[in-house]
Amino acid sequence: CHKQHHKYIGPEVISAEHAHPVEQVLANYAPTLGGMLLFGAHPYQFFVWLAFRLEEAYETHSGYCFSNSLFGKLGMLHGDNTAFHDAHHSQNRGNFGTGNLIMDWFF
C-alpha cells in the first residue's frame, strides 16, 4: 500500500496526500477523525486539529527544515524530521517514517 506514496522519490508537498485508498483510510482518516468522533469534539476543535495534521504533513514533505516554524517553536516538529523523511522517501524498504521505529525493526 505505502509504495504508491513512494512514487515520489524526492520530497514534494503533494506526496503527503498521495496514498493508496486503503492507506488513506487507515493511516490518515482514521487517526485524524477517530479521536474527534470518539470524544465528541466540537467542530471548531476538529478543524484546528485537521489544520495541525495537514501542516505537519506538508512541512515534513516539503524538503525544507523549518526549525523556526510554528511547530518548531512549539516543539511539535523538529528539523531532523525533514531529513529523516527524505531518507524515508529514498528507500522502499525499512524507514517507515517518523515515529515508526517499531515498524522498521519488525519488517
Predicted TM-score (pTM) of the model is 0.65
φ/ψ bin of 98: left (φ > 0), alpha (ψ from -120 to 50), beta (otherwise): beta
More confident residue, 28 or 81: 28
pLDDT, position 47: 92
Instruction: Dump pLDDT digits (tens) for 2-12.
Output: 666 666 666 67
